[in-house]
Amino acid sequence: MNRLIAFIGVALLARAAAAQPIDVDMFIGSSAQGSGALRMAYDFCRPVVVTESLTVDGLTRWTSTQPGFNALAVSRPGSIYVLRDTTPIEVVLRAVDPGVTLKVGSTVLDAPGSMALIGNVPDVHLHPEWRLLLPEGQGGEFHLQLSLHTGATAYDDSPIYRFTITTVAGSDGCGDGETTTTTLPPATNDRLVAGTTLLLRASPSNAAKKAMTLTFGDAFDPASTDPTVTGGQLRILSNAANSFEGRHELPASRWKPLRKHGTLRGYRYKDRRGAIRSIVWTFGGLVRVQGRGAGLKHSLAGDPEPVDVALALGAERACLHFGGTVSYSPGKSFRADNAAPPAACAP
Amino acid sequence: MRRLLVIVGMLVASLGVRVGPAAAHHVTDFLMSTPPGGGNELIIAYEFDTTVAPLAFSFGIGTTSVYSGTNPGFDAADGDEFLDGVQYHVFPPGVEISVELVDNDGGRTAMKLNGVTLSKPGDTVVLGTAGGQPPGDLHHHPEWLLFVDGPPGTFADGEIAFRLTSTLPDYTASRTYTLKLTNGHLPPVDFAADTFDRASADCQRAVGKAVDPYIHATYGALRRCLDRLVTVRAQLVASRNVDAASAAAGRVCVPMVDKLARLRTRAAAAIEKACGAKGSKDFTADEISQHLTLAQCRAQETASASYFRAQTYLKALSAKGTSLRDLFPCVFRTSGEEEGRS
């Protein structure tokens, strides 16, 4: 009798220890309770195995609906936490191999910077269509990178997650061991730029009254930079005692060319609902960025000087460093004019 | 001893549940189980009568547009699963469930599940196994497919019928379930989180405001036309001369085609202004077009339900060389209605 109980007890313990629950879907939460960065719990070593759907005109469509996105229902202390209700979650395509697309609801993500709404917490349960279009008879392993974004002020964007899309069942999605990366896609051409003006405003009692204006001389090469294709990112950083860092996605879909008499004169970015409301880049003129709302991450509780700014458009990145001639009103405003170019882009 | 074994059995059972895939079921998915009151029939708890699967354009093949979507998915009760206060049974580990396509609306619909496309009645695929680890588990989302004759923006809906089966003799096949697929339901608007999103709220309001008069106009115009055609029919039955009544019907029915086209253009423009590229950017022109056709279709269906022989009546008239029956394709012919002269 005792031997039987002992045997069953050992068997139960062994089974409990061996069985590691696997996340069926990618569960979305945050790195801290009620704040922090968005993140996903999932075994990213598992590749997305696509299967053949249809071959037409020499092209084969491969698809899969696994894995899906899901809101985390129960926090895992020390790892990932449940998000606040109504938090909107958007998925942003950060990099993609040719032939790979992601259909999220009615939106097809096919270029870096394109994004789509997954849902509002807790109503987040969406299986995208992972899609691959290849010449008939071909297969192999491909990649795409995604991050999560929210307009909710409490959370920052997630790290970038790298997925392996494969036509071969049983392959190892980790490949060279890389599972996720927290770095932005590298800009291959850094430009160290003099800043004309940086104006940050804040209200101690109302975060929605935050505002930002940034102006600097054109630093991008229009021949190799097209934000309507690549989108961009804006980063604002202070390493002063009251440090802050804001990273803002500038999706390609929100950029439009500026033309005059049919000639391309620059690009305009517009997002009436985002933290970055508008950017106007006039070739050979100025780049002017305007932001507003609680989505801006700066804090003026302490003097933020110096403030580093990096605007990346495609493979080019303009880096600015605002210090020196500044005016600072505690809690209300920070203004820096005529900043010299930095020695290097802020890490 | 017996009591001890019962306790141990319960422990094993509860442990078996815990070590399954984490956080399995979602209320938007099909909940697979057996009847809560007992029985060995496989069932799906889901509101099939009141839920449609919204699909979006995926790709084109020649003149056919393929629409796809991934919701709802299949899932199994995971042990503490209540729906409307009812607790559903968990499948014991090892139960294998398959899905069999029963009907696909004359080839207009299909589903791709676990790498297999079910495109004709009788096609079957193994969904997964209870207690299995992904991808061998029971939580899978198919690609629901709808094949539409026409370019993107053409409204269509269809049905797909399927049932669950199991290889184990302990379970009998489910009844046939039918899911409605449509491309006419608009996707959700994307409300901003950091401020009151007036643009998207205005967009949603603009849809309702534009669709309302369009439905009324469609129903009203069709009603007036059918009233005239009923008069023609009544006079025919009485062997009277119908020339005057036919001419009157033509004067009412033919102009409604252009009038409704103008109203549709106006409705689409109003929605586009609020929701399109220059508005909140919530909907594309194709999505708006599909939705307006859905609205028009439902108005036609309702009107035709009030007039026995409605389709036959409309067949007798044409506008710009096209029969009104073809211009109002959602007007139903009631079973038992004779084809022929109105």
Look at residues B126, B153, B182 and tell me which one is the last residue of a structural domain: B182
End-to-end CA distance of chain A: 66
Q: Are A256 and A267 in contact (CB under 8 A)?
A: yes
CA distance A68 to chain B (A): 9
**Non-local CB neighbours of A323 within 8 Å, separated by 6+ positions:** A305, A306, A307, A336, A339
User: Is A186's pLDDT higher than 60?
Assistant: no
Q: Which of A90, A106, A275 sits opposite B56 (nearest CB)?
A: A106
Cα A186 from Cα A184, distance rounded (Å): 6
Does the residue B77 lie in any domain? yes
Residues of B in contact with A119 (CB under 8 A): 188
Residues of B in contact with A51 (CB under 8 A): 112, 115-116
Minimum mean pLDDT range among A205-219, B252-266, B286-300: A205-219
Mark whether B172 and B43 lie in a shared domain: yes
| Local confidence band at B311 (pLDDT 50, 70, 90 cut-offs) | confident
Residues of A in contact with B112 (CB under 8 A): 51, 53, 63
Mutation for testing the B interface, residue in A8, A25, A70 having most B CBs under 10 Å: A25
Cα B63 from Cα B279, distance rounded (Å): 31
Cα B203 from Cα B280, distance rounded (Å): 7
Q: Are A309 and A322 in contact (CB under 8 A)?
A: yes
Mark whether B240 and B290 lie in a shared domain: yes
Cβ–Cβ of B187/A86 closer than 8 Å? no
Query: What are A88-141's pLDDT values in tens digits?
Result: 999 999 889 999 999 999 899 999 889 999 999 988 899 999 999 999 988 888
User: Rg of the Cα trace of chain A?
Assistant: 23
Residues of B in contact with A65 (CB under 8 A): 70, 73, 140-143
A151/B contact by beta carbon, under 8 A: yes
B57/A contact by beta carbon, under 8 A: yes
Q: Which of B8, B70, B139 sits opposite A8 (nearest CB)?
A: B8
Number of domains chain B contains: 2
CATH number of the domain enclosing B156: 2.60.40
Residues of A in contact with B142 (CB under 8 A): 65
Look at residues B113, B147, B182 and tell me which one is the last residue of a structural domain: B182
A10/B contact by beta carbon, under 8 A: no
Mark whether B25 and B164 lie in a shared domain: yes
Does the residue B333 lie in any domain? no
Mark whether B36 and B177 lie in a shared domain: yes
Cross-strand pairs, A33: none
Mark whether B231 and B279 lie in a shared domain: yes
Does the residue B8 lie in any domain? no
- pLDDT, residue A209, reads 86
Residues of A in contact with B191 (CB under 8 A): 88, 120
Residues of B in contact with A49 (CB under 8 A): 135
Does the residue B48 lie in any domain? yes
Q: Are A159 and A182 in contact (CB under 8 A)?
A: yes
Q: Which long-range contacts (CB under 8 A, 24 or more apart) does A7-12 make?
A: A8/B8, A12/B11, A12/B12, A12/B15
Look at residues B182, B211, B242 and tell me which one is the last residue of a structural domain: B182
User: Is A258's pLDDT higher than 90?
Assistant: no
Share above pLDDT 90 across residues of chain B, in percent, rounded to a whole number: 67
Instruction: Measure the CA angle with vertex A289, ends A285 and A292; round to 5°.
Output: 160
Window 120-139 of A: residues touching B by CB (8 A cutoff) are: 120, 125-129
User: Is A19's pLDDT higher than 60?
Assistant: no
Chain-centroid distance of CA A336 in Å reads 28
Cα A216 from Cα A285, distance rounded (Å): 9
What integer best gives the mean pLDDT of chain B? 87
Cα A93 from Cα A113, distance rounded (Å): 6
Domain of B163, in residue numbers: 20-182
Cβ–Cβ of A70/B26 closer than 8 Å? yes
The predicted model gives B53-72 an average pLDDT of 94
Does the residue B151 lie in any domain? yes
What integer best gives the mean pLDDT of chain A? 83
Cα B333 from Cα B341, distance rounded (Å): 14
In a 3-state reduction of DSSP, which class is residue B113?
strand
Higher pLDDT, B332 or B262: B262
Q: Regarding beta strands B109-113 and B143-149, do their DSSP bridges make them parallel or antiparallel, or are they unpaired? A: antiparallel
Q: Distance of CA A231 to CAs A191, A227, A247, Å?
A: 18, 4, 14
Domain boundaries, chain A: 23-181, 189-339
Mark whether B34 and B178 lie in a shared domain: yes
B4/A contact by beta carbon, under 8 A: yes
Q: What is the dihedral of CA A141, A144, A145, A149, to 10 degrees?
A: -140
Q: How many residues does chain B have?
A: 342
Does the residue B59 lie in any domain? yes
Mark whether B256 and B318 lie in a shared domain: yes
| Both structure tokens of B174 | 């489910």
Does the residue B320 lie in any domain? yes
Query: What are A70-93's pLDDT values in tens digits?
Result: 999 889 888 899 999 989 999 999
User: Is A6's pLDDT higher than 50?
Assistant: no
In 3D space, the residue among A72, A63, A81, A91 whose CA is nearest the CA of residue A25 turns out to be: A72
Q: Distance of CA B184 to CAs A126, A248, B280, Å?
A: 19, 34, 19
Does the residue B288 lie in any domain? yes
B71/A contact by beta carbon, under 8 A: yes
User: Is A291's pLDDT higher than 70?
Assistant: yes
